[in-house]
Amino acid sequence: MSKKWLIGIILAMFAVVLVACSDSAEETEENNDTETEEEAAEEGSEESAEEQATPQPDLEDVPDVVAEVNGEEITKEEFTEVYEIQFDRAVQQGQITIDSDQENFKTQLAESLIAQELIKQAVNDSEVSVSDEELEESFVELAQSNGLETKEDFLTAVEGQGMTEEEATEQVKLQVKVDKFVAEEAGDLEPTEEELVETYEELKKEHEESENEQELPGYEEAKTIIADQLRKENEARAYQNIVETLREEADVTINL
């Protein structure tokens, strides 16, 4: 499997960010100011046509209960909320066009929500717990990963998106439980030194074959990034394996 995506991550982590000169920005602003009313009207017409051609989520045929998982319902309201977010993201990434059939996308999302419900039920049935210290650490990590400094900054941000502090806390606590549950079920997810070296050698070979002029960092510099990505791959595989096992033993009905 090609690891060009991982090469890109490593190079990006060590790349020098170049900022465009302010003169160029000023020149662009002046050009915009000289745009005629006729050009603006034409642009507005083009934008209107583009909006009409933008795919819209089709949710008319979605039933009130999308699926049932061991007696727990996944409602149309829950499905719609997630569907609209994922749909917009898929449109932006070019995965959905005006001619796309949305039925397959709906089925995939339903399966994803079923997987989440299965994991949630398994976690709630387990003895996994979360300490106050672990919860605080998770809030700090979330804040920093979103470019914020403190837990309070993060809570203010999510409240601006319509989520209360209590709801955010419950969501974070559940995610910490899920992470601990998956780790306990899967065992050690840390990549070995041998795996790290092997992956780096593969990256080095692919990078040389690509004739990319940017120099790949040495092993010690790239090691942390590679370890993080391999750990995420291991976690994803473990999660999928657990979901498949739970699904085999579960009573699941999809109404789409």
pLDDT of residue 245: 93
Domain range for 172 is 129-187
Judged against a pLDDT cut of 80, whether residue 254 lies above it is answered with: yes
pLDDT in tens, 226-238: 998 898 888 888 8
Asked if residue 143 is part of any domain, the answer here is yes
Residue-averaged pLDDT of the chain: 80
Domain count, the chain: 1
First to last CA, the chain: 35
pLDDT for 255 beyond 80 = yes
In this structure, are residues 247 and 69 in contact, taking their beta carbons and an 8 Å threshold?
A: no
For residue 164, tell me if it sits in a domain: yes
Task: Answer yes or no: is 226 within a domain.
Answer: no
Using CA atoms of 213, 214, 216, 222 in order, give the dihedral in degrees to the nearest 10.
-160
